[in-house]
Amino acid sequence: MNEAIIRINNIPVYGFGLLAVIAYLWGSFIFFKKANESHFENRSILDSVVLSAFWGFIIGRIVFAILNIGMFWNHLPRLFLLTNYPGLDRFGVILGIAFGLWLCLRKIKVKFMDWFDLTTLGISAGTAIFLAGLAILAFMWQYIVLALIYLLVFIYFWNVEERYRTFAWYRNNKTS
């Protein structure tokens, strides 16, 4: 799975990295589309996409290094050798996305939950695409099942997103 699937001159393109980029672009597109429909400012939307991706990668890598401390303990430069020691922790990435979103939103003083609701749509869409691609690269049926589950979660979030914002329990001091 961590083999070069395409070579452009002497530059190898690895399957995992390609899937991560495609999933990021798809999730960012979904987030941008829904945030634009909610009349958020384009500059703030794009800032939050870039900051969330940056901090998602950094914190995901740090959490991966902490969880695999034996591999990185006396060899801290291995943290930067992404091709020799690949890995990100998915929960660290989600935590980093939330942190990057919080950093961006504290400057413009808006409610975090309004934005994180839309971010979950992007995360679920990107995860579904990532797992579908992983099923193709790894030839494992388990990834197909996971991709279908995440696709169903994404469809559910997409359908319920406009309706649940009108519920009294949601509007009670949680959103503007």
pLDDT on residue 175: 52
Q: Is the pLDDT of residue 176 over 70?
A: no
pLDDT for residue 146 is more than 70: yes
pTM value?
Answer: 0.77
Q: Give the lowest-confidence range in 68-77, 107-116, 140-149, 163-172.
A: 163-172
Chain mean position to CA 90: 8
pLDDT tens per residue, range 44-84 = 888 888 888 999 989 988 898 888 888 778 877 777 766 66
What integer pLDDT is reported at residue 13 of this predicted model?
76
Assign 172 a pLDDT band (cuts: 50, 70, 90): low
Mean pLDDT value across the chain: 81
Residue of 92 and 167 predicted with greater confidence: 92
Q: Which residues is 13 bridged to in the sheet?
A: 6
